[in-house]
Amino acid sequence: MSDTKPLSLYVPEPEFRPGDTPDFSNVPIPKAGAAPRPPVDVDPGDIRDLAYTIIRVMNREGEAVGPWADMLSDEEIKEGLEDMMRVRAFDARMLMAQRQGKTSFYMQCLGEEAIACAFSKVLKSGDMNFPTYRQQGLLLSTDYPMVDMINQIYSNAADPLQGRQLPIMYSSKEHGFFTISGNLATQFIQGVGWAMASAIKGDDKIATSWIGEGSTAENDFHSALVFASTYRAPVILNIVNNQWAISTFQGIARGGAATFASRGLGFGIPSLRVDGNDYLAVYAVAKWAADRARAGHGPTLIEYVTYRMGGHSTSDDPSAYRAKEESTSWPLGDPVERLKDYLIKRGVWSDAQHHQMKEMLEAEVAEVQKQAEKNGTLHDGPHSSPGTMFEDVYEEMPLHLRRQRQEAGV
Amino acid sequence: MARMTMIQAIRSAMDVSMARDDNVVVFGEDVGFFGGVFRCTQGLQEKYGKHRCFDTPISESGIIGAAIGMATYGLRPCAEIQFADYMYPGYDQITQEASRIRYRSNNDFTVPMVVRMPTGGGIFGGQTHSQSPEALFAHVSGIKTVIPSNPYDAKGLLIASIEDEDPVMFLEPKRLYNGPFDGHHDRPVPLGKAAIRREGAEVTMLVYGTMVYVAEAAAEEAGVDAEIIDLRTLLPLDMEAIEKSVQKTGRCVIVHEATRTCGYGAELAAIVAENCFYHLESPVVRVTGWDTPYPHAHEWDYFPGPARVGAALKKVMEKA
């Protein structure tokens, strides 16, 4: 007889499930301002600690501190606050539109607004994002027409994608926003390829790839890191760690005490972990990575630590799988509230101004929604003509598709 | 004029395309310094530099995913997958990404990419160096699938594929790689056009790649006046050439090396049944690889040879 115990499979579980009272007091939150800010040509081996800490700029007193602070003017920060509040107002309105049956599906980014909104500020015209479905902030913080986003969500007659894609799967080459797939992780390596092309052509453009922490388990994540590091591609590899992949907590994809950022270290890629609810920290780290890519030093991996305050999409109810109070107990707070507190502390913002801004943005979104509804909704139409279904499968329509269109009678 | 093998013709097609257009880049496993395990890219790195012809990590999903990104930037990547059998890790990128990016973005982004891969058996490559996955590509909307049968076509079809604005899967029958045929020219051969290899009145043979030669030998040995159609492009398919021929001959034999069930021959048989039924003198017959994994020692009993194809010809003629 063997004297060893039978083996058993370890299946990680989140700390809190429905009915539990969440308590994150044991989660170590590094002090704002504590993480060093290396030069962009640093040897990745010298900054391994940055993959395990959390780079933070705003402290609990609403002050910006440390070497990653002081990169934006008050006006730029106010604009950042407005961007985040616009995204939040847009999400709330579209969520309601879905509940009203005007569209089939919606995905909000509640609690994660700082990441895309701050990140977009480090990009230049001609750079290309390869986003996931939770980076609407990349479009809403630029001059992309909001009405086209709603037209796309409604699959109406003015939908720029002619009703071919799920709601929220936007595409705009002009605005540096690669067509969202809906598959997970496939875009992560495509962004690396785009960046390689920019380098092959001696261009000065950079690419950014986006992925959620759950999808880092996909093979495309690994491919992207291998290719990015091998060819020193001018790409920023962004992992948005919002703790939850639908109902699956991040521990299922992570493995023990490792961080998602630390996965970059094995590839020799500088890897930074940042407070994703800190607009100023997100901007500073993104700017560092963009400067590094533009200077020809290659890729950077960034993990944004945040929290998905809403459901995964309109198709799931988070109260079925996680503790009700978890989002309000989350130790990194709310990105909008934190930036508001910072601006008020600086004396350049007030509760009254904030309230006024919120009402103005809600009115703006409602007005644009009204415009979009003139072009129809998914439920009531009108839509693009069914004949367009056969177009753009190829540059030219082959014989078999011409015959099928005729058979369809459209 | 010197004669070219298919390998030389394929290499020459990439050479011609790279010389014409700076946006054409070539990469894959062992493709750079060494010039590829079948030597299809030999000399290209030396001639065009490492940034236009280079080695990649062993990651087919990475090769194809990166190629998609490059194509959406504006390059014309021509990627090599070392054997068609290795493409499966990249299949997601082909079928769900490359194929649909034009459609889902309403022409905002396009993928003018070629993925080359040696296909088929006959070189004792066993089950991981011999597969014929063309039906897995032809089933997918938004990509084109090409299989040449000779160096002239290989060169012209590859030039046309690189110039094409849509993703093309370019399958190279490795059993024909060293055939002594003439590939000397620099003209595109249009995609979507079949070639009639032999005109005939009694039976239409629908074939592509290696099976073109098996069909020719079988028709000659059987003494049947067969019309042999080399499809060259499986998608878009030259349906009119097929229909015209079968409506003339009234008989149809389909030959491919891939497994039978849901193979490309099933689609061809259905097209013939749907569009030529009242012209048929006998049932359509398929001669294919057996529905087994590809066997190493028994490969010559596995894929169709002249004897099996000849028997099929006799069978369709008897039913007259």
- Determine what percent of chain B is predicted with pLDDT higher than 90: 94
The number of beta carbons lying within 10 Å of the beta carbon of residue A294 is 16
Mean pLDDT of A261-285: 98
Mean pLDDT of A324-331: 90
Shortest distance, CA B203 to any CA of chain A (angstroms): 24
Q: Is B129 a catalytic residue?
A: yes
List, for residues B43-67, the tens digit of each pLDDT value. Answer: 999 999 999 999 999 999 999 999 9
Among the residues of B132-174, which ranges form H helices?
A: 134-138, 151-163
Q: Do B69 and A392 touch (CB under 8 A)?
A: no
Q: Could you tell me if B142 lies within 8 Å of chain A, comparing CB atoms?
A: yes
Closest residue on chain B to A231 (Cα): B56
Shortest distance, CA A409 to any CA of chain B (angstroms): 19
Q: Do B75 and A200 touch (CB under 8 A)?
A: yes
Looking at chain B from residue 1 to 20, which residues have their Cβ under 8 Å from any Cβ of chain A? none
List, for residues B207-265, the tens digit of each pLDDT value. Answer: 999 999 999 999 999 999 999 999 999 999 999 999 999 999 999 999 999 999 999 99
Mutate to test the interface with B, among A179, A225, A230, A235 (most CBs of B within 10 A): A179
pLDDT of residue B180: 63
Size of interface A-B (CB pairs under 8 A): 143
Mutate to test the interface with B, among A220, A394, A395, A401 (most CBs of B within 10 A): A394
Mean pLDDT of B194-210: 98
Shortest distance, CA B178 to any CA of chain A (angstroms): 33
Mutate to test the interface with A, among B88, B93, B108 (most CBs of A within 10 A): B108
The interface predicted TM-score of the complex, written ipTM, equals 0.96
Q: Do B102 and A207 touch (CB under 8 A)?
A: no
Closest residue on chain B to A221 (Cα): B62
Mean pLDDT of A60-76: 96
Encoded tokens for A354 = 């904030």
Shortest distance, CA B221 to any CA of chain A (angstroms): 35
pLDDT of residue A53: 97
pLDDT of residue B319: 52
Contact B319, B281 (CB under 8 A): yes
pLDDT of residue B1: 55
Mean pLDDT of A82-111: 97
Q: Match 């990249």 to its residue by tokens.
A: B90
Mean pLDDT of A198-209: 98
Q: Could you tell me if A266 lies within 8 Å of chain B, comparing CB atoms?
A: no
List, for residues A152-193, the tens digit of each pLDDT value. Answer: 999 999 999 999 999 999 999 999 999 999 999 999 999 999
How many whole angstroms separate alpha carbon A58 and alpha carbon A340?
11
Confidence of residue A65 (pLDDT cuts 50, 70, 90): very high
The rounded mean pLDDT for chain A is: 96
Q: Do B73 and A220 touch (CB under 8 A)?
A: no
Q: Could you tell me if A160 lies within 8 Å of chain B, comparing CB atoms?
A: yes
| Domain locations in chain A as residue ranges | 44-379, 386-410
Residue type, A134: R
Mutate to test the interface with A, among B53, B59, B244, B274 (most CBs of A within 10 A): B59
Q: Which residues of chain A does B101 touch, with a Cβ-Cβ cutoff of 8 Å?
A: 179
Q: Could you tell me if A397 lies within 8 Å of chain B, comparing CB atoms?
A: no
Shortest distance, CA B180 to any CA of chain A (angstroms): 34
Mean pLDDT of A266-271: 98
Q: Do A226 and B59 touch (CB under 8 A)?
A: yes
pLDDT of residue A143: 95
Q: Could you tell me if A208 lies within 8 Å of chain B, comparing CB atoms?
A: no
* Greater model confidence, A254 or A200: A200
Q: Could you tell me if A164 lies within 8 Å of chain B, comparing CB atoms?
A: yes
Confidence of residue B2 (pLDDT cuts 50, 70, 90): low
pLDDT of residue B320: 47
Confidence of residue A26 (pLDDT cuts 50, 70, 90): confident
Confidence of residue A28 (pLDDT cuts 50, 70, 90): confident
- Which H, E and C letters describe chain A, residue by residue? CCCCCCCCCCCCCCCCCCCCCCCCCCCCCCCCCCCCCCCCCCCHHHHHHHHCCCECCECCCCCECCCCCCCCCHHHHHHHHHHHHHHHHHHHHHHHHHHCCCCCCCCCCCCCHHHHHHHHHHCCCCCEEECCCCCHHHHHCCCCCHHHHHHHHHCCCCCCCCCCCCCCCCCECCCCECCCCCCCCHHHHHHHHHHHHHHHCCCCCCEEEEEECHHHHCHHHHHHHHHHHHCCCCEEEEEEECCEECCEECHHHHCCCCCCHHHHHHHCCCEEEEECCCHHHHHHHHHHHHHHHHCCCCCEEEEEECCCCCCCCCCCCHHHCCCCCHHHHCCCCCHHHHHHHHHHHCCCCCHHHHHHHHHHHHHHHHHHHHHHHCCCECCCECCCCHHHHHCCCCCCCCHHHHHHHHHHCC
* Greater model confidence, A3 or B175: B175
Shortest distance, CA A7 to any CA of chain B (angstroms): 32
- Short-list B169, B171, B108, CA closest to B142: B169
- Determine what percent of chain B is predicted with pLDDT higher than 70: 98
Shortest distance, CA B119 to any CA of chain A (angstroms): 24
pLDDT of residue B182: 63
pLDDT of residue B185: 76
Mean pLDDT of B142-152: 97
The rounded mean pLDDT for chain B is: 96
- Short-list B201, B223, B226, B190, CA closest to B211: B226
Looking at chain B from residue 268 to 287, which residues have their Cβ under 8 Å from any Cβ of chain A? none
Q: Which residues of chain B does A171 touch, with a Cβ-Cβ cutoff of 8 Å?
A: 104-106, 108-109
Q: Do B106 and A193 touch (CB under 8 A)?
A: no
Q: Do A181 and B236 touch (CB under 8 A)?
A: no
- Catalytic residue from among B51, B129, B256, B298: B129
* A178, A197, A207 ranked by CB distance to B75: nearest: A197
Residue B184 has pLDDT above 90, yes or no: no
Q: Which residues of chain B does A130 touch, with a Cβ-Cβ cutoff of 8 Å?
A: 69
Closest residue on chain B to A199 (Cα): B51
pLDDT of residue B181: 64
Residue A141 has pLDDT above 50, yes or no: yes
* B97, B166, B239 ranked by CB distance to A399: nearest: B239
- Short-list B149, B184, B146, B147, CA closest to B166: B146
Q: Could you tell me if B126 lies within 8 Å of chain A, comparing CB atoms?
A: no
User: Which domains occur in chain B, in start order?
Assistant: 6-176 (3.40.50.970), 195-318 (3.40.50.920)
Q: Do B105 and A219 touch (CB under 8 A)?
A: no
Residue B191 has pLDDT above 60, yes or no: yes
Q: Could you tell me if A399 lies within 8 Å of chain B, comparing CB atoms?
A: yes
Shortest distance, CA A164 to any CA of chain B (angstroms): 6
Q: Could you tell me if B138 lies within 8 Å of chain A, comparing CB atoms?
A: no
pLDDT of residue A1: 59
> What CATH architecture applies to the domain A44-379?
3-Layer(aba) Sandwich (3.40)
* A161, A195, A198 ranked by CB distance to B105: nearest: A161
